[in-house]
Amino acid sequence: FDLSGLLVAGGVAGLVIGFASQSVVSNLISGLFLMFEQPIKLGDNVNIAGINGIVEDIRVLSTVLKTYDGIYVRIPNEKAFTSNITNYVNNPARRFTYEIGIRYEDDADKAIRITREVIANHPFALKHPAPSVFVDNLGDNSVNLTVYIWAPARNWWDVRTDLLWKIKQALEANGIEKPFPQRTITFADNLEVKNRAAGKKGDD
């Protein structure tokens, strides 16, 4: 009975099992580190290895995310532990920013006052840290305001979308509108003379 073929097959199988067990052990140890360090918890909105989603489960060998499109994603714990992890709700408060353009003929001080009043009346816009509204730059077609607002991290998205619409409505109700792009066209002097001459010939 020739054992050489059996020994070769056994050696190959041993290598496969060795590599597989190495990956399993690495994921297991990384999973223990994740559970000990707790950079993420169930229900957190996170970005792990470039994938955005909600943490559904933290298992011994893998972490499960549900993306905002409802897609199930399983990430090996070794990859999760060694990747950059962004936790959007780990801090109690989170800031968002608006860039609002108004016309040059509009009153910027009035626009700032109205915006601050809308923010102050919103139940989930935080007073501390305080919001900030100011003229940031003068654009080609508009005076550009920058707005910084803090909200509870768990309500961040709802507050951001709700306040943007309310600020728009309040500004428009007070006659302050978003400007449209404008272009000024200047004709050369000789072109203007030619156009006038052509107009006179047409009249004749």
pLDDT of residue 177 exceeding 60: yes
Mean per-residue pLDDT for 115-132?
Answer: 95
- Write out the residue range of the structural domain in which residue 140 sits: 93-173
- pTM metric for this prediction: 0.70
pLDDT score for 56: 94
Mean per-residue pLDDT for 143-154?
Answer: 95
Does one domain contain both 83 and 102?
Answer: no
Does one domain contain both 119 and 58?
Answer: no
Number of domains forming the structure of the chain: 2
Does one domain contain both 43 and 108?
Answer: no
155 Cβ neighbours under 8 A, 6+ residues apart: 124
SS3 157: helix
DSSP state of 120: H
CATH number at 102 reads 3.30.70.100
Q: Is residue 58 part of a domain?
A: yes
pLDDT score for 1: 47
pLDDT of residue 169 exceeding 70: yes
Q: Is residue 191 part of a domain?
A: no
Does one domain contain both 82 and 110?
Answer: no
pLDDT of residue 6 exceeding 50: no
If we measure between CA atoms, which residue out of 59, 26, 30 comes closest to residue 42?
59
Span 57-110, pLDDT tens digits? 988 888 999 999 999 999 999 888 888 999 999 899 999 999 999 999 999 999
Reported confidence tier of residue 179, pLDDT bands at 50, 70, 90: confident
